[in-house]
Structure 1
Amino acid sequence: MFHCDSEVGLDQKPVMSFLCKLAVVTVVLVFYDQVNAGEIIGGQEAKPHSRPYMALLRRNASQNQVLFCDGLLLDEDFVMTAAHCQAEFITVLLGLHDMNDKKNVQEITVKEEFPHKDYNKHGFVNDLMVLKLSSKAQINDYVKPVDLADHSSPVPQHCIVSGWGKTSMNDKHLSTKLMEVEVTLIRDKNCEDQYFFCSEGKAGPASGDSGGPLVCEGGVAYGVVSSFYTPPSGGKNLYLFAKISDQKQWITSTMEESLIKH
């Protein structure tokens, strides 16, 4: 699955700032020099409705642009995605597998956005956002929330990333069907210092997959698709996932405070 189709920019910042926002249209890579992002291929179509927590976010941005991100259902009132997926207006699609088949799909607008208070858009640190739905999701066989890891959860190794993002370098459109790929998390001090989980290699998330969940052993969500980094000297791509496990308390308190307020 997954390729990052992008423009190449130039910014001399610390290593974790060489990142790629994974929104479906406006994606910018940041390198010291021009570096070919390469083709990121791997994965397969997910079994229909085997990941009922998946959400597709249709984002209305400026100049009537429609962009896309992914997300995960937290409960009947809330969805989580990446903070860089903020938009003026968002519609959430739940229960979706094939974009050409809207049977059993719920479309719900977002009432309020809660990006992490310490989100840093220059380094994508704390790239998490909670979305309050305008009406309750109907929980059924096609739509179910996913459990979240907390700070005490053991660090996983093998995980699955799912999304409707592009599947090859030449693609101009999203995948019409939900795709998934297995990734192996690596130990990297830069990732840990910046509150990310990381994986590396040719297969991984890409344009259109931002905000989708990193689901690991036991079917628990540990992270959210944030960005990727290509070393200026070449080498394997590094995929970054904002840690849910470090922010479980913030997520829970944000949801509780929103319900009390309304």
Structure 2
Amino acid sequence: MQLLLLLVAFLLPPRAGAGEIIGGNEARPHSHPYMAYLLTESPRGLSTCGGFLVREDFVMTAARCLGSRICVILGAHNITRQERTQQSISVLRAITHPGYNEQNYLNDIMLLQLQNGARLNRFVRPVALPQRQSRLRPGAVCTAAGWGRVTLNRRTDTLQDVQLTVQRNEECSSRFQGYNGQRQICVGDRRQRKTTFSGDSGGPLVCNNVAQGVVSYGNRAATPPEVFTRVSSFLPWIRRTMRRFKQREIKLDPPPVTNSSPGWRPAPA
């Protein structure tokens, strides 16, 4: 059943948000054990997003990936295969940042509390978050990863990654109306054809083994730079939210109406 569901997600049309890494390469299998593949149901149908494990019971992603039901796949490399490393877990509770703006994607960040805590091993492991509101310097080289198209017309079923360079805020503020350098990061050298795209939304920007950003948005032509949500600016909200919904509460609190019930899986279209 899981294989069939993943095949359905893989065949989603581009408008549904299939992820895309432009100018990258296939990642070494399981070299990014924090990566999460999200299958989401919404009134518009099934869609996919990226995400990343930040605690055994929490995945971080973009607020724009919210759906009425979400299933998280951890430990995957090839999303169309039933790999023994994979863990499929329903989302108990989706918590979007209260200041998320759907018009300009400001505060584009969301925490997903898992129905059951992930089994941590060498294939599934959380990534570190910033310890304080540190600033990334322009020129810093970081890694982004995701599943989906490797060109505008060709898909891939294996995890891809790409090295991206942090840019000065001016590079994005001159290109995107509403860009906020305090809460967002400008990433990607416009002289290179390297970028994330579309449904890669929610995936991490990892710098020196720390998740500094969340894929948010770019332009329709898939040319850099692009905008990532700055994780360090949301640390108080992140910590407060994860303290509020502790793992022991998973069995005590009934799931809200807007999120998945135990054992839910997306139905084939």
Interval containing the TM-score (normalised by the shorter chain): 0.7 to 0.9
2:110 paired residue number: 129
| Aligned-pair CA distance for 1:132 | 0.5
| Aligned-pair CA distance for 1:151 | 3.6
> Partners of 1:131 and 1:46 in 2: how far apart?
25
Counterpart secondary structure, 2:149: coil
Report the residue type matching 2:187 in the other structure. Answer: S
Report the residue type matching 1:125 in the other structure. Answer: L
| Aligned-pair CA distance for 1:207 | 2.5
Report the residue type matching 1:248 in the other structure. Answer: L
| Aligned-pair CA distance for 1:54 | 0.2
Counterpart secondary structure, 1:249: helix
Correspondence 1:179 to 2:170? no
Change (3 A) 1:199 1:193: closer
Ranges of 4+ aligned residues in structure 1 off by more than 6 Å = none
| Aligned-pair CA distance for 1:228 | 0.4
Matches within 5 A, 1:232-251: 237-251=224-238
> Partners of 1:212 and 1:236 in 2: how far apart?
18
* Alpha carbons 1:150, 1:246 under 8 Å: kept: no
Counterpart secondary structure, 1:177: strand
* Alpha carbons 2:21, 2:161 under 8 Å: kept: no
Post-superposition Cα deviations, 1:51-71, rounded to whole Å, max 9, x if no partner, equal 1000000111226x2210010
> Partners of 2:135 and 2:233 in 1: how far apart?
12
Matches within 5 A, 1:1-262: 25-26=15-16, 41-62=22-43, 65-99=45-79, 100-156=81-137, 157-171=140-154, 173=155, 175-189=156-170, 190=173, 191-193=179-181, 195-200=183-188, 201=190, 202-217=193-208, 219-229=209-219, 237-259=224-246, 262=253
Change (3 A) 1:59 1:254: same
> Partners of 2:32 and 2:181 in 1: how far apart?
30
Which 5+ residue runs of structure 2 have no aligned equivalent? 1-12, 174-178, 254-269
| Aligned-pair CA distance for 1:216 | 0.6
| Aligned-pair CA distance for 1:153 | 2.8
Change (3 A) 1:102 1:85: same
> Partners of 1:205 and 1:103 in 2: how far apart?
28
> Partners of 2:57 and 2:14 in 1: how far apart?
25
Change (3 A) 1:150 1:122: farther
| Aligned-pair CA distance for 1:195 | 1.6
Which 5+ residue runs of structure 1 have no aligned equivalent? 1-22, 28-38
TM-score, structure 2 normalization: 0.76
| Aligned-pair CA distance for 1:249 | 1.4
Counterpart secondary structure, 1:60: strand
Counterpart secondary structure, 2:239: helix
> Partners of 1:123 and 1:159 in 2: how far apart?
24
Q: What is the number of residues matched between the two proteins?
A: 222
1:7 paired residue number: none
Post-superposition Cα deviations, 1:145-191, rounded to whole Å, max 9, x if no partner, equal 000114443415110000003211113x4x21000000000011434
Report the residue type matching 1:145 in the other structure. Answer: P
> Partners of 1:49 and 1:210 in 2: how far apart?
20
Report the residue type matching 1:258 in the other structure. Answer: F
* Alpha carbons 1:110, 1:133 under 8 Å: kept: yes
Counterpart secondary structure, 2:76: coil
> Partners of 1:40 and 1:83 in 2: how far apart?
20
| Aligned-pair CA distance for 1:109 | 0.3
> Partners of 1:209 and 1:102 in 2: how far apart?
21
66-75 or 154-163, which deviates more? 154-163
> Partners of 1:127 and 1:212 in 2: how far apart?
12
> Partners of 2:89 and 2:135 in 1: how far apart?
34
Q: Matched residues, percent identical?
A: 37
RMSD between aligned residues: 2.3
